[in-house]
Amino acid sequence: MESRRIIFLVVGILLVSSSIIGIALALFVNRAAPKYKVDECPAEYGLNPVLIVSLDGFRADYLERGLTPHIQALADAGVHAPFMKPSYPSVTFPNHYTIVTGSYPETHGIIANKFYDPEFKSVFSVGSEESTNGRWWGAQPIWNTVNAQGKKSATFFWPGSDADINGTHPTYWFPYDGDVTFEDRVDQVLAWVAMDESERPSFISLYFDEPDHTGHGEGPDSPQVNDQLVRVDGMIQRLTQGLMDQGHAGCVNLIIIADHGMAFSGEGKVFKVADYIANVSDRAYTYTGAFGRVDPKDEDPEVKFGMMEKLVCQDPKMRAYDYEGLPTRLHFSNNPRIEEIVMDLEPGYTLSVTSDWFLEGQHGYDNYDSLMNALFLAAGPAFQEKIEVEPFQNIELYNLMCHLAGIVPAPNNGTQGSLDHILKSPPPRDPLPEESKPPTAEFPSEEELPNRLGISGCPGDLQAPEDWVYSLDVPEAVKSELEQYHLPWGIPHSGDLPADVSLLHHGEYVTGYSSTLRMPLWTSFTISGFTHQVPIYEWSSDPRLTEENTPTCAAYDELKNVSMGPLFPPGHSKNSTLERVPYVVSNAVPMTSQVSEKWQELLVTKLNSWVMNYGGVNVIAGPIFDNDADSHPDDFTGFGATPEVPSDLFVVMTRCKTHASPEMCDPSQLDAQAFIYPLVQRVPNCMEPAEYMLMFSSKVRDVELATGLDLYPNLEFHDRVRTLVRIHDKLWN
């Protein structure tokens, strides 16, 4: 017993000592940290280069440990965000290449650190000779953009820079060699910055593989990771002190980022595919790790769905998706390199076939998870000083860096102007092009009205008009008031969509009805009260439509496993005498029972709670036709007379942070969250309603891309863009 007490005493002393040492170290390094001074740049220096430094795996909250005073000094001096969101999957090579192309991994093709290309019939893996072959690398990295426009570029070990992409490398680059010291890398960057203007690169990138490397082996909460935080902070000190010693701190636009975060993994957090699918090694190729995928050797879709049925609902920490059925916000469906089944695991868990092998730290998970959050800060002559900005996704960096380097960006997935607010002098931006207001579908004359009451051939059609029918005949002055209330930021622009839109006004909502689709392209409404129970009515013809553009109930009856569903929820009707209005066919969209249940949970149950918390909420909803899962609308011109079944339904909800009514809200106080719900999930995962809502949430910009609509057209450019790209990695309270 006495020996055991001695052991406990010794352990206690060691723990206390290590804590004291850690605190002392933190106090020492914080006291020793100088401020980063962005002085005037010498006039003879010329154009300011952009320098981006990656600290691989530097999770955003590592900064709070107090071990990185020089990084903190930069954040305090310039611009910083609480975090930057990686793109999915939150893996090193896909995200580093996303940062320098502004493109999602599905777009640029580097979908993982290891994958198979069915066209090349070859495997890409990090560190292999094949990975330096430019054929794998799509999109245009910024060093190619820079070089193509007559300027110079330099990279030190940035993923992709040692590949001959379109036959081109950066002007200055090195093949990867992990033995090159961090100090030598920094010194080379300082030498590039000090070059004569004729030889100096306009774009410079620098890569460190820490704290990621140690985080995998020791875990994110280990003392060894803390040691690496101190180490990389020392490299930032070496860099910034070097710039100040050169007199170039005011010349360089410096950005420090990470590609992703890190989750604690460890023993006992392994899902073995062989436990769920018999003979899986013979039947499928399995990519193991945090970002797991299963690719059946038999290409019959039924084989895939059969395997998925064995994987879903087995454990709440493991989900399986058909790659085309992944949430739109992940942008991970439109590339033949993506395997058939994509596993979505809770952070810390990994996939294997039969092995128990594990790492102490992992990444690759859903980019919405806070443990995947990455570092972002910037300082230099172009950047604002001493400000914190809201989080954003890393696809937005490419356009920013192109602006800083004075070049025109190549096509990419970022949104121009999304980071203008971090600049001292942002460039001028053009507003949305003007678009003519859609015509209003007119209520028929008294003589014509009886003929219109049955044009859809629906069970609820009337023999003679009732009072509620005349509510569809809205006076012009009232139409304008309804638009101001239900469409406070303007009528959505439909651009080049061959939708043939006309407006339908109702007391509770306004619809942009598409004659091409024979259904609403969108419906918008503002609510400030709660839903109530209303009877379910039979569908009725809308007398404002004609035989040429109305849907028919007979056509809907021909659809399999799909029925007419109300886009505007009838429970939001305030007038008990007008409860039949939401059951006119112009409010109908094809719905499955699966999506109808989710729709009710979101637009009735959850929306009620948000209205109670925030006051008025504006909602715009509609169908999405994206059957090829490329995040862009299908060609409407190929649709027939039978209603085309959407791939998804969308919702965009907008509220005021100050709890003002939406139409009275200061545009800077607007907040929006969006959702894209698939109509069909062949093999659904088991999720609680709130979990499903977050999984299938999205940015508003994702909705714009998938629908072809431009929302909030009357907002000023930066207010609109801020609302479009805002990320909600948690639902509103």
| Chain segment 686-730, per-residue pLDDT in tens | 999 999 999 999 999 999 999 999 999 999 999 999 999 999 999
In the structure, what pLDDT confidence band is assigned to residue 33 with cuts at 50, 70 and 90? low
pLDDT of residue 645: 96
pLDDT of residue 8: 40
Average pLDDT on 444-461 reads: 97
Residue 627 clears pLDDT 80, i.e. is over it: yes
676 touches 646 (CB < 8 A)? no
Residue 641 clears pLDDT 80, i.e. is over it: no
CA distances from 294 to 89, 90, 644 (A): 15, 18, 32
| Chain segment 197-206, per-residue pLDDT in tens | 999 999 999 9
* SS3 label, residue 431: coil
pLDDT of residue 534: 86
In the structure, what pLDDT confidence band is assigned to residue 32 with cuts at 50, 70 and 90? low
CA distance 86 to 194: 32
| Chain segment 257-290, per-residue pLDDT in tens | 999 999 999 999 999 999 999 999 999 999 999 9
Residue 496 clears pLDDT 60, i.e. is over it: yes
**CATH number for the domain whose boundaries are 270-358:** 3.30.1360.180
List the one residue out of 286, 262, 264 whose CA is nearest residue 274: 286
On average, the pLDDT of the chain sits at 94
The CB-based long-range contact list for 131-134 (8 Å cut-off, 24+ gap) reads 131/163, 132/162, 132/163, 132/164, 132/175, 133/163, 133/164, 134/163, 134/164, 134/165, 134/166, 134/167, 134/168
pLDDT of residue 38: 82
Instruction: List the chain domain ranges.
Output: 39-264+370-422, 270-358, 449-725
Residue 21 clears pLDDT 90, i.e. is over it: no
List the one residue out of 391, 303, 389 whose CA is nearest residue 341: 303
The share of the chain scoring above pLDDT 90, in percent, equals: 91
CA distance 75 to 80: 5
Residue 141 clears pLDDT 90, i.e. is over it: yes
Residues labelled as active-site residues: 92
pLDDT of residue 532: 76
Using DSSP bridges, classify how beta strands 617-624 and 519-527 pair: parallel, antiparallel or unpaired: antiparallel
Residue 9 clears pLDDT 50, i.e. is over it: no
DSSP letter string over 492-511? Answer: PB-TT----EEEEE-SS-EE
- Across 338-490, the runs of DSSP E, i.e. the strands, are 341-345, 350-352, 361-362, 376-379, 387-388, 392-393
| Chain segment 220-235, per-residue pLDDT in tens | 999 999 999 999 999 9
Residue 18 clears pLDDT 50, i.e. is over it: no
Right CATH number for 39-264+370-422 from 2.40.30.10, 3.40.50.300, 3.30.428.10, 3.40.720.10?
A: 3.40.720.10
Higher-pLDDT residue of 576 and 14 is: 576
In the structure, what pLDDT confidence band is assigned to residue 11 with cuts at 50, 70 and 90? very low
CA distance 246 to 241: 8
* SS3 label, residue 68: coil
Pick the range with the lowest mean pLDDT from 15-24, 125-134, 569-578.
Answer: 15-24
Residue 13 clears pLDDT 90, i.e. is over it: no
Right CATH number for 449-725 from 1.10.3720.10, 3.30.390.50, 3.30.420.40, 3.40.570.10?
A: 3.40.570.10
pLDDT of residue 491: 99
CA distance 602 to 624: 17
